[in-house]
Every structure is written in structure tokens, then in C-alpha cells.
Amino acid sequence: MPDWLSHPGVVLIGGALLVALLRGRARSAAALLVPLAALGMIWTAGEGVLWRAELFGYEVTPFAVDGLSRLFATIFAVMAFGGALFALNQSNRIELPAAFLYAGAAIGVTFAGDLLTVFVFWELMAVGSTLVIWSANTELAYRASVRYLMIHLLGGMLLLIGIAGHVGDTGSLAFVAMAPDSVSHWLILAAFLVNAGAPPLSAWLPDAYPEASWSGMVFLSAFTTKIAVYALMRGFPGAELLIYVGLTMVFYGIVYALLENDMRRILAYSIVNQVGFMVTGIGIGTEMALNGAASHAFTHILYKALLLMSAGSVLYMTGKRKCTDLGGLFQSMPITAACGIIGALAISSFPLMSGFVSKSMISQAASDESLFIVWMLLAAASAGVFLHAGIKFPWFVFFQKDSGLRPPDPPVNMRLAMILFAALCIGLGIFYEPLYRLLPYKVEYEPYTGMHVVAQLQLLLFSGLAFFVMLRWLQRTLTITLDLDWLYRVLACAAVSSASNGVAGTDEMMRRWVTRWTAALSRQVRRLHGPQGPLARTWPSGSMALWMMVMLLAILLAGYLS
């Protein structure tokens, strides 16, 4: 019998119950201590398989630790702590427990040594995240969460079928590296990619996340897509297809974010963009590329959470989310603006920022493998990141025109959470050695060479020049941009309603025919047999005698003729 409380994910899920039951200061204390306890346990757990059991004749290993799982579990616990600090003043009492369930399940996936455990925690994540979206308590959020849940249940179903097939083929449940070489492996890959926000099913992310509350989206940005990155790294490293999928995600994210007006939807598209860099790295599959993808997931969680805390603070203080309604907020929200800018510089991979030390490894890997086109596209995309997130977000929210809004900075816990994450974004950019030591493979890479720094600065600053030169083309309008979710939000609905109209129409037509025919029939019967009908009249006996005679003559005639 394993000691249940030695698993950090289980502790965090238990903490969800605790936080749900407590109130006031005790609740706040528990909300901050539980993630820290989980973090401590992640670091004291030894490497190797810690829990082992047999289930239906298969070996399951629900708690197995190695470098990669520890790296992801660490950042998930840090994120749970920072998110909880930011959300302490959230009045909804379900959101934080739901977020802990979500985070605990994510840690559960990272420590799962077998596919069955992966599946169980995978589904728990879907439940937790859906509850986080629901907690916003709006009609829009409810509708979006139902769409979100449908997509993720579909993903879970693909995963379960894939796992069943894999077990049938190999006789083992162990979560090991696979290749897209059989139907079941394709299904598992597809399930992972659904969670990564890869096309064609990427629209769920910008559709659902921005409907969460000001604090909810901070949690949502971290776990689902990064657990997909983790699962792809473990399951499908070096699958070439992922290079193309990743590059598609990178540019999809940029283009849609450029067209977007809702500040948090800009950041949602930017999640797809950033995960695209990681997926590309996994597709390249060398040690350098995998280190790059893993470290980029780590730094991304921090700066994306920081950006969303900054956006969440603006939403919390102003109640507004559209760029067209915002602007000029740097004057009254200096801390929020400064932290937002630090997050923006970090996502853009500016030197001395966390994104620089992680993303450059993916480009380096493309260069090492002589993948010229991939390398060029990654460079173009790096410039594009600065364009769509690095400048666009802070510019339209904190600068551009003066909206006249003068809200102060948010409450102290929200400020502290932002400052903590901003410090981590800068700290990891300067002191990157500890992060590099955590990576799954030995790092032989120096990010701060003169050429790297100068090349990156040129790329980014001239991207900034393009932004301001083309500013008139980028002015925000009150619009959204149709995505593939149009297929299930409009086309499928129209198809269903036209099909049901068709059924109703056919039904009505057939009813009309039947009534018309029966009416005609009854008219005919009435005409023949009714009171005045020819077959019901009383006939004079003379006419009957006449007809009898005609008939007898006819028989006589027939007799002669034959």
C-alpha cells in the first residue's frame, strides 16, 4: 500500500478539498502552503519508479520520477503557488480548488510512468480546467466551457482508444517513446496534439480561455498545453511531422493575434504561437532541440502567466477587455504596466530575459541540423512574436490613445504575484545555469555570444520599427476573426437545423398528402353512397325491368354468336 501523501499531485488535489472547505485567513494560508509543500515533495522524491502495482495483469507505475518529469512538475507547482497568490482575492469560491485539482492532475501526468495513469490524470485535468472556466459565472463562459469540454472529451477518447490499441499491440502499459507508425500511435499523437492546441483543433483555446475570470485564465494558460508538450516530448521525440505542425501553430498564432482586439485573446493566440516553437523543437528531436523545448515550456509558463496577470489586473480594475476601450493605463497602473512590459520582453526573447536563453536553443538545433528553411521560419517567427505580443499587448493596453481610464494598481497580493514572476523572468534570463542543469540532457550551449545577442536585437528592434511604421494597418476594430471553430459553431448548427427543418418539411408534406387523399376518397364515397349518391338512390322498378331486358338480350346475342 503506497503512502498516498507522498505524491505531490495527490497532495495538491487534496489541497483543493482543503481550500474548498476553509475560509478567511486559513484558506489563504492553505492556498499558499499546499503548492509549496508539493514543490518540496517534488524535490525530495527520489528518482526511479516509486509506486508499482499490477492491474488486470498489467504493470502500472503511477509515480515514477526522472529529470524531465521533475522539471515539468516543478514549474507546475511554482505556477500553482503564483496563481494562488494572484487569485487570493477572487470572490468565487470554486475557482481556486478547481485550479488546484487541475494543477495536481497536471503533476500527476508528469509523474505517470504508464499510459493508464496518464489517461486518468489527463481526464481529471479536463474536469478541473472546465470548472475553472465555469467559475467565471457568465453565460458566455458557460457556453465556451461546454465547447471546450466537448473538444477535450474527444481528445480523451482518442487517447483511450489509442492506449487500448497500443496495449493490444505491445502488451505493455509503459509510457515509452513511440513513433507514428500504427493506428493506435496516431490516435495517441492526435490526442496529445488536441491538448497542444494544434490545428485543425486549435480554436478551443482562444475561444474558451479568455472567457475565464481575471484570475482563471492565469491558471489555464499554464497546464493543458504544456502537459501536451511534456507528453509529446516523452512519447514522440523526433517525429518529423511535428516540425510542420509546430511551424503552422507559430504563424497561425501570430496572424490571428495581429487581427485580434480582445487583450486576453491576443495572449491566447500567443500561447498557440509559443507552443508551436516547442512542438517544432520536439519534431527536430535532437538533444539540443529537446532541451530547448523543455526549457522554453518552463520559461513560457512564467512569462505567459505574468502577461495574463497583467491583463487580469487591467480586467479586474477596469472591467474592460478590448484594446479599443483601453489605452493610457501606464499613468495610473505603473506596476501592472511595468510587469506587463517585462513579460512582453521575456516572451519576445530579449537578451537578459528568460525567453532568450530557452528559445534560442531551438533555433540553434535547427541550425545544427542544417534545416535552413526551418531556421529561417523560426527567425521570422521570433520577429513576429515581438510584433504580436511583445509590442502589441503593452502598446494597446497601456499606451496608444488615452482612454481616460485612471484605475490604480490592483490589490497587494496581485501586485506581489506579478513582481515575483517578473523577477523570475529576469532572473532566469541572467542566471540561466540552474535551469540548464534541470534539463533532460546535458547542455552544451552558450546563449550569450556576441553574435546571438546582436542578431536577436536586430531582429527584434527592426520588428518594432515595422510595428510603428505600419501602425495604421494595426489599428484595432470591433471585430473577431473566424477560425475553424466556425465549422462547429455555425456550419454544423446550420446543418443540424436544416436537417431538422427538412425532416419537419417532409413530415408536413406527407401529412398534407394523406389528408388530401383521404378527403378525396371520402368525397368520392359520399358522392356514390351518400344520401343522394347514385348507389343509394331508390330507382323506379320500370327502369330495373328495362335493364334486365337489355341484359337478357345481350346474353341471347352472345349465345347466337358463339
Partner 1 sequence: MTEEKHWLTRPQTIRVLWRVFVAVLALTVLAELAVQHDARFEVEGWFGFNAVFGFVACVALIVVAKAIGVLLKRPDTYYAEKDRDRSA
Between 143 and 320, CB nearer to partner 1: 143
Beta-carbon contacts of 317 under 8 Å, excluding residues fewer than 6 positions away, are: 333, 336, 407, 408, 409, 410
Among residues 482, 510, 548, 554, the one that binds partner 1 under rule CB under 8 A: 482
- By rule CB under 8 A, what count of residues binds partner 1? 58
The residue type found at 1 is M
Task: Tell me: does residue 383 bind partner 1 (CB under 8 A).
Answer: yes
Between 172 and 449, CB nearer to partner 1: 449
Q: CB of 276 within 8 A of CB of 248?
A: yes
Distance CA 324, CA 455 (A): 34
DSSP-derived secondary structure for 445-460: --S--HHHHHHHHHHH
3-state secondary structure of 138: coil
Among residues 127, 164, 423, 489, the one that binds partner 1 under rule CB under 8 A: 489
* Closest to 251 measured CA to CA, from 392, 378, 393, 389: 378
Among residues 416, 426, 455, 487, the one that binds partner 1 under rule CB under 8 A: 455
3-state secondary structure of 262: strand
Task: Tell me: does residue 368 bind partner 1 (CB under 8 A).
Answer: yes
Among residues 255, 416, 423, 487, the one that binds partner 1 under rule CB under 8 A: 255
Between 497 and 506, CB nearer to partner 1: 497
Task: Tell me: does residue 463 bind partner 1 (CB under 8 A).
Answer: yes
Task: Tell me: does residue 165 bind partner 1 (CB under 8 A).
Answer: no
Distance CA 207, CA 529 (A): 69
State yes or no: cis peptide before 199, omega within 30 of 0.
no
Beta-carbon contacts of 172 under 8 Å, excluding residues fewer than 6 positions away, are: 58, 59
Sketch the per residue contact string, 303 through 332, with partner 1: x for CB under 8 A, - otherwise.
Answer: -------------------x-----x-xx-
Among residues 154, 164, 379, 419, the one that binds partner 1 under rule CB under 8 A: 379
* Closest to 363 measured CA to CA, from 382, 341, 346: 382
Q: Which helix (H) or strand (E) holds 64?
A: strand 58-65
Task: Tell me: does residue 370 bind partner 1 (CB under 8 A).
Answer: yes
Distance CA 41, CA 398 (A): 40
Task: Tell me: does residue 495 bind partner 1 (CB under 8 A).
Answer: no
Among residues 142, 462, 517, 547, the one that binds partner 1 under rule CB under 8 A: 462
**Region binding partner 1 by CB under 8 A among candidate stretches 91-99, 212-220, 372-380, 524-532:** 372-380
Contacts with partner 1 in 69-108 (CB under 8 A)? none
Distance CA 266, CA 264 (A): 5
Task: Tell me: does residue 541 bind partner 1 (CB under 8 A).
Answer: no
Among residues 3, 24, 168, 477, the one that binds partner 1 under rule CB under 8 A: 477
**Region binding partner 1 by CB under 8 A among candidate stretches 79-87, 248-256, 516-524, 550-558:** 248-256
Q: CB of 333 within 8 A of CB of 363?
A: no
Task: Tell me: does residue 261 bind partner 1 (CB under 8 A).
Answer: yes
Alpha-carbon torsion, ordered 420, 421, 425, 426, to 10 deg: -20
Distance CA 395, CA 398 (A): 6
Task: Tell me: does residue 389 bind partner 1 (CB under 8 A).
Answer: no
Which chain residues interact with partner 1 by CB under 8 A? 143, 251, 254-256, 258-259, 261-262, 322, 328, 330-331, 367-368, 370, 372, 375-376, 379-380, 383-384, 387, 402, 449-451, 453-467, 469-470, 473-474, 477-483, 489-490, 493, 497
